[in-house]
Amino acid sequence: MSVFLALTLIAVVLGLVGVVVHGALYLLFIGIAVFVAGLVYLGFAASRGRPAR
């Protein structure tokens, strides 16, 4: 879960920088790609489940 949160935080920061800084729109798209990668990671982690004790 911490990996997903870190990826989401990075995506938000890149997205904000991409929107605010003139000429750095590519950072917004990189932020979107990082967010999608985080969602994919979360999906794989959730489908794997937790081992029974």
**Cβ atoms of residues 11 and 31 within 8 Å:** yes
**Cβ atoms of residues 38 and 11 within 8 Å:** yes
Q: How far apart are the first and last CA of the chain?
A: 20
**Which H or E element spans position 51?**
none
pLDDT digits (tens, 9 = 90+) for 1-53: 788 899 999 999 999 998 898 888 888 888 889 999 999 988 888 887 666 56
What is the SS3 assignment for 16? helix
This model's pTM is above 0.85:
no
pLDDT of 36 reads 92
